[in-house]
Amino acid sequence: MTQAATAEAPAKSPFERVGGHPVLQAISNRFYDLMDQDPAYAELRAMHAADLTFMRGALPAFLAGWAGGPRDWFEANPGKCMMSMHAPFPIGRQTADQWAEAMTRAIADTEVTDREIADAMADVLGRMARGMARD
């Protein structure tokens, strides 16, 4: 008697569910467009370099590995911790809220494959940002 394949297919990672690299790139582009153009994020914008090209590549690369996808950013930055990496920046509740709000908007504005996982990512990223505030 042959045994039926009972093993379940491995669960998809959040990276795959949200739509992979193209979606993370679109979310990041929208995030930096909002930061650049909406005066509500002026304080957050002022903390960043004038040219956001590096960040438009670094953020989606980080998010990919963080969400269970390709780990290129982590391999290029061995041992780099996102929380301690931000320690030199004067992040307060106001700038952390601006980051969280711009990211929530960016995710809401982007066409994603799975809205449920995208909203869960917005929630967790917002908590991470607010965890960086030191006032």
Binding site for ligand HEM (CB under 6 A): 44, 47-49, 55, 58-59, 62, 82, 86, 89, 91, 95-96, 99, 125, 128-129, 132
CB of 57 to ligand HEM, least distance (A): 8
CB of 67 closer than 8 Å to CB of 24: yes
- Our CB check for ligand HEM shows the closer of 15 and 99 to be 99
SS3 25: helix
C-beta of 16 vs 86, nearer to ligand HEM = 86
How many other CB atoms sit within 10 Å of the CB of residue 114? Answer: 15
**Which amino acid is it at 72?**
D
Instruction: Mention every residue, 6+ apart, whose C-beta is less than 8 A from residue 54.
Output: none
Cβ atoms of residues 16 and 121 within 8 Å: no
Using the minimum distance from each CB to ligand HEM, give the nearer residue, 86 or 105.
86
Cβ of residue 58: shortest distance to ligand HEM, in angstroms?
4
Residue 21 makes CB contacts below 8 A (sequence gap 6+) with: 60, 64, 69, 70
Q: Cβ 7 to ligand HEM, closest distance in Å?
A: 34
Cβ proximity to ligand HEM, 56 vs 114, nearer residue: 56
**Minimum distance, C-beta of residue 37 to ligand HEM, in the bound complex (Å):** 16
